Amino acid sequence: MTAVVLTDIADLDLALDRATAAARALRTISDADRAGYLDAVAEALDAAVDELVPIAQRETHLTEARLTGEVARTTGQLRLLAAAVREGSYLEAVIDHAAPAAAPPRPDLRRVLIPLGPVVNFAASNFPFAFSVAGGDTAAALAAGCPVIVKAHSGHRDLSRRTADIVADALAAAGAPDGTFALAEGREVATALVAHPAIKAGSFTGSVAGGRALFDIAVRRPDPIPFYGELGSANPVVVTAAADAARASEIATGLAASFTLGAGQFCTKPGLVFVPEGSVIAEHARTAIEGAAPARLLTDGIGRAFVDGWSALASTAGIEVLTVATAESEGVTPGLARVTLDTFRSTPALHEELFGPVTLLIEYADPAVLIAALAELEGSLTATLHAADGEDVTALVEVLSERAGRVLFGGWPTGVAVTWSQNHGGPWPATTSLFTSVGVTGIRRFQRPVAFQDAPDTLLPPALREDNPLGIPRRVDGALVQGADR
């Protein structure tokens, strides 16, 4: 079987009718069955790894090892969300029994989260599996019970189509309703989907400009819909003077590895590194990347944007270029530059993410001025602090957690664990929302609450029935009640 692929806006109404019908059908299907869909997709992708990875290699220039690992991450993500659906906390079930003697009397009232309806997810260029056709947004939407139309990224079209066929087959074999999943291609279809009355939410991983354009369409509809964009992130790193004195060389090695990982094409790439005046981290990092082999970027367009961005950066007044990023036919080499904190603060263009293997070191003299400068940063997905053991960094932690969605103590932000606790999101422009796009709690993006008042038990969703047939955790009359052991 092949997946439905939408390439013409004339086909959208019919496709959305099918998705709307699927949304209704999904509401009558048990959570256990729906969790089974996620597991079935995971199993099918794992079984196809030897077929898929070579397609992805050809289209993205990423290595076999990286891509094979990414398939495992993607299927692990699907299975974690399936487990979360079975556990049931994601339904946020709350029961308050009637209180006829209260003043005023209170009815029986029960709240649960229900799926929003059909959603459109925009695949990213830089994770052809984990943030693409069967990636985190698709897994979260399916976990919530929403049909999904994935806008394929043109940077890996063949992989997207083949993955879509595998997903469609696995869903059909597992019993998912017709219309649960489709693929879409092309900008015109994509924007028409965001504007379509049957679409109830959108999600996106990509550039600030592209994400903002789609966000604007979503919020300007006659009936605005949530649009979850994961856009741009400079991912600041702060090195205290004490950490610099204790381990400049080690920090430099870690930085060099992190900002060049995957040719710098991670949304969590550390792009701004605040170091004390006189730090030798820059020099050590330059040594670490000397002789790095050129790396081909994901697409020609990304390659051109990187070259343009680096040229603009390198020619900015006050910038000291430490390593020239070069772009050859065989790929790009990393770029490293340095600037004073004063120049950085007065040059807004330096605050923005530059996608690719480049990082900017910013020298600060006064820690108090550093904190003021950090407070001026745009929002980021991550902020990383390198401090010495026992150092009082309360004020730094405070300002970094204001500006980012994940704060790291030591280590490097590249690498995003898929867990219950993960938060991959942050203040604008990191994301457009108050939610994560990685990890279990990302399901909440595709749900809304409904309360049932004085409903007969048989007409309630199973999650809210008196005898708790799903065995899920619930809040009953104000107290948390654990779910059944499983």
The closest of 234, 198, 219, 261 to 350, measured between CA atoms, is 234
Residue 223 makes contact with its own copies by CB under 8 A: yes
State the angle between helix axes of 157-174 and 49-60 in degrees (0 to 180), rounded to the nearest 10: 150
Regarding 110 and contact with its own copies (CB under 8 A), the answer is yes
**Interatomic CA distance for residues 226 and 208, integer angstroms:** 17
| Residue nearer to its own copies on the CB measure, 294 or 483 | 483
Does the protein bind its own copies through residue 307 (CB under 8 A)?
Answer: no
Is residue 410 a contact residue for its own copies (CB under 8 A)? yes
Nearer to its own copies, 428 or 462 (CB): 428
Residue 216 CB, nearest distance to its own copies (Å)? 8
Among 14, 47, 417, 484, binds its own copies (CB under 8 A): 417
Q: What track of x and - describes contact with its own copies for positions 351 through 390 (by CB under 8 A)?
A: ----------------------------x-----------
Q: Scanning residues 114 to 133, which ones bind its own copies (CB under 8 A)? A: 114, 116-117
Task: Identify residue 346 by its one-letter amino acid code.
Answer: S
Task: Based on the shown chain and the rule CB under 8 A, indicate whether residue 34 belongs to the binding site for its own copies.
Answer: no
CA 401 – CA 390 distance, rounded (Å): 19
Of residues 249 and 452, the one with the C-beta less far from its own copies: 452
Per DSSP, helices labelled H in 175-299 are 187-195, 208-219, 241-260, 281-289
Select the span of 57-65, 120-128, 285-293, 392-400 touching its own copies (CB under 8 A). Answer: 392-400
Q: Return the range that interacts with its own copies (CB under 8 A); candidates 84-92, 139-147, 186-194, 274-282.
A: 84-92
Identity of the residue, 55 or 407, whose beta carbon is nearer to its own copies in the bound complex: 407
Task: Among 21, 29, 49, 109, indicate the residue that binds its own copies (CB under 8 A).
Answer: 109
Do 355 and 378 touch, CB atoms closer than 8 A?
no
Pairing relation of β-strands 335-340 and 201-205? Answer: unpaired
Question: How far apart, in whole angstroms, are the C-alpha atoms of residue 324 and residue 114?
Answer: 52
Q: Which of 421, 453, 418, 423 is nearest to 436 (CA)?
A: 423
Which of 14, 434, 469, 484 is in the footprint of its own copies by CB under 8 A?
434
For the bound state, the minimum distance from the C-beta of residue 3 to its own copies, rounded and expressed in Å, comes to: 27
- Bridge-based pairing of strands 479-481 and 474-476 is antiparallel
Among 121, 205, 235, 447, binds its own copies (CB under 8 A): 447
Residue numbers annotated as active site: 230, 267
Q: Is the dihedral of CA 347, 353, 355, 358 positive or negative?
A: positive
State the number of binding residues for its own copies (CB under 8 A): 75
Site for its own copies in 63-82 (CB under 8 A): 69
409 lies in the site for its own copies, by CB under 8 A: yes
Candidate ranges 134-142, 337-345, 362-370, 391-399; the one touching its own copies (CB under 8 A): 391-399
**Should residue 401 be labelled a site residue for its own copies when binding is judged by CB under 8 A?**
yes
In the complex, least distance from residue 332 CB atom to its own copies, rounded to whole angstroms = 26
Interface pick for its own copies out of 241, 428, 462, 465 (rule CB under 8 A): 428
Q: How far is the CB of 29 from its own copies (least distance, A)?
A: 13
- Is residue 252 within 8 Å of 281, Cβ to Cβ? yes
Q: Min. distance of Cβ 305 from its own copies in angstroms?
A: 21
Q: In a 3-state reduction of DSSP, which class is residue 388?
A: coil
Question: What DSSP designation does 417 have?
Answer: -
Which amino acid appears at position 310 of this protein? Answer: W
**Residues 6+ positions from 233 with CB-CB distance below 8 Å:** 267, 268, 271, 353, 379, 380, 381, 382, 426, 429, 430
If one counts every other C-beta atom within 10 angstroms of the C-beta of residue 486, the result is 9
Rounded Cα distance between 446 and 140, Å, is 8
To the nearest whole angstrom, how small is the minimum distance from the Cβ of residue 250 to its own copies?
15
Question: Using the rule CB under 8 A, is 453 a contact of its own copies?
Answer: yes
Please, what is the minimum distance in Å from the beta carbon of residue 408 to its own copies? 4
C-alpha 374, offset from chain centre: 23
The verdict on 224 binding its own copies (CB under 8 A) reads yes
